[in-house]
Every structure is written in structure tokens, then in C-alpha cells.
A = this chain, B = another copy of it.
């Protein structure tokens, strides 16, 4: 938290556009980290990577309503503007783009992105419209900020693959930089939603990553049968009385196609609910 670089906050898309146009004209490399705020060490790792790679780093904070379904946690989603500002300054971020909803979705807004079949599996069926909402706002943010690269974490693995695919499919000239999951000491993947957990749920939550570790262990022992591998994960979760499981699956890491037999590099992903809180995690075999 020692950077002396100032942080400028921009509230309007037109201001952000002006700044990024000026960067581009000056030949400065521009990195971008889109967030929904409530920044934790996972976000910090993305921000630090951008600051390391680029001359100018832009972060955005925008809790995007269109990626929350009815009954999801849009209204109670963690907000911590003052804390976020401190973290952004600490990382040496140059600009925070912090727009109002009406600037991103003015009256009459209607054109959206359809992400295709990468959005049909894993979290897709449990969160209808979620990935189309994510892709649409990320496309808009990319067009406003026009970065040379953007940094995303592997925690939201399906989102990462969908954004990479959108960038390729739409011929966008933006590099997508992937960063590993940052975890608590007990293995729980960092997430703004961890703040919702009760003490008891927080203890149980550590078992989510343990379930993934058990799958990896079994795979290393020579088993490639996905049913058997995933039974390991289910056992860990059930033992911890985590009974509300959306899915535990092994899939191709790029196409997200379901596997019968696992191979090195495959994705193991799961989503569970602890009370009202939905947690996701994944690991690559």
C-alpha cells in the first residue's frame, strides 16, 4: 500500500474513452481489470499483473444488473467503495472507471451478446441469462476502455473461456490474460460472496477445494473414469454436510465438452450452495 501514483476516478463512459484515446495516441500500453468491486486478494493479483505488464492500468467497478437473475443477490451484493479505492491505490492502478447504471444501460438499450453453447453447461442452466449479461457488459467495457489486454481470474473459469471465445469470434484485438485462483490458507477460493458465509458455513466451505484435491489425487493414482473421480468429490462434500450441489463435473478445458475419461489438463468444476450462498470452484487436472 505504498504506491505514490494518483488514482483518477472516471464516472462517465465519454470521459473514460477520452483517457484511453489519449493513452493510445501516446503509444502507452493499456491494461484493464473489470470487476464488480468488493475487491479481495484475488482481484489484487489481477490488478498487480496488469500494473506489471502495462504502462497504464484501468480498473472498473460495475455491479452489472443484467448478469443477476431474479432471486439472485444483486441487491445484497457486497459493496465497499472506500476499501476498494484503497486497494486500487495500493496496487498502483491509474484509473477507476466507476459508471452509473444509466450510463451503461440508457433507456431503450436492447442489443445483447449471445454466448452460444459455452454458456449452456456448468453454471449456465443454474443461472439463465447470466453469461449473456456478462458478455454484453464486458463487450461494452472493452469498447469503452479499448485496452491492449484484460486480466481475468480462473476462479470464474467458464466466464473466462466465454470471454476468450467472444474476443476471438468478434475479432476484438484484445489479449485475455489468465490468472490462477487465489485461495485462503485453508484452500477456500477467494470470492466476494465469501462475506455472506456464517462461521459454520465458512468452516464447511473449505471442504469445497478439498473435494477438488481428492479428485486430483485419485486421478494421479491412475484412475481416469470420471464417474469414479467425481464420486470422490461427492463423498468429501457429503461428509461435510454440503448437500446442495448444483454440479460436480469434468470437462474439456477449452470446449467445455463433458468427459467420460479424464485426461491431463481437464477441468474439474463444481458449484454448491451453503444456505443462500452459491460457491463455485475448479481445478485443472
Count how many chain A residues have C-beta atoms less than 8 Å from C-beta atoms of the other chain.
28
Whether B173 contacts A111 by the Cβ 8 Å rule is no
In chain A, positions 127-163 with a C-beta closer than 8 Å to chain B are 132, 135, 139-140, 143-144, 162
Chain A positions 87 through 113: 1 when the CB is less than 8 Å from some CB of chain B, otherwise 0? 000000000000000000000111111
Contact call B113/A166, Cβ cutoff below 8 A: no
With a cutoff of 8 Å between Cβ atoms, the chain B residues found around residue A144 in the complex are: 171
B110 touches A113 (CB 8 A): no
Specify which chain B residues have a CB less than 8 angstroms from the CB of A114 in the assembled complex. Answer: 111-114, 132
Complex alpha-carbon distance, A165 and B132, angstroms: 18
Interchain CB contact under 8 A, B110 and A117: yes
Complex Cα spacing A132 to B132, Å? 15
Q: Are B111 and A135 in contact (CB under 8 A)?
A: yes
Residue of B nearest to A111 (CB): B169
Q: Which residues of chain B are near A111, meaning CB under 8 Å?
A: 113-116, 135, 162, 165-166, 169-170
| A113-128 interface bits toward B, Cβ cutoff 8 Å, 1 = contact, 0 = none | 1111110000000000
Nearest CB of chain B from residue A141's CB, rounded to whole Å: 8
Q: Give Cα distance in the complex from A143 to B117, angstroms.
A: 23
Q: Is the CB of B110 within 8 A of A140?
A: no
Whether A110 and B169, one on each chain, are in contact in the complex, defined by CB atoms closer than 8 angstroms, is yes
Residues of chain B within 8 A (CB-CB) of A113 are: 111-114
Determine if A58 is an interface residue (Cβ-Cβ < 8 Å).
no
Question: Complex: how many Å from CA A173 to CA B16?
Answer: 12
Q: For residue A166, which residues in chain B have a CB less than 8 angstroms away from its CB? A: 111
A255 within 8 Å of B by Cβ?
A: yes
Known: A113-B114, A143-B172. 8 other contacts (CB 8 A): A17-B173, A109-B169, A110-B165, A111-B170, A113-B113, A114-B114, A140-B169, A143-B170
Enumerate 14 A-B pairs (CB-CB under 8 Å) in ascending A order: A17-B171, A110-B115, A110-B116, A111-B113, A111-B135, A111-B166, A111-B169, A112-B113, A113-B113, A113-B114, A114-B132, A140-B171, A143-B171, A143-B172
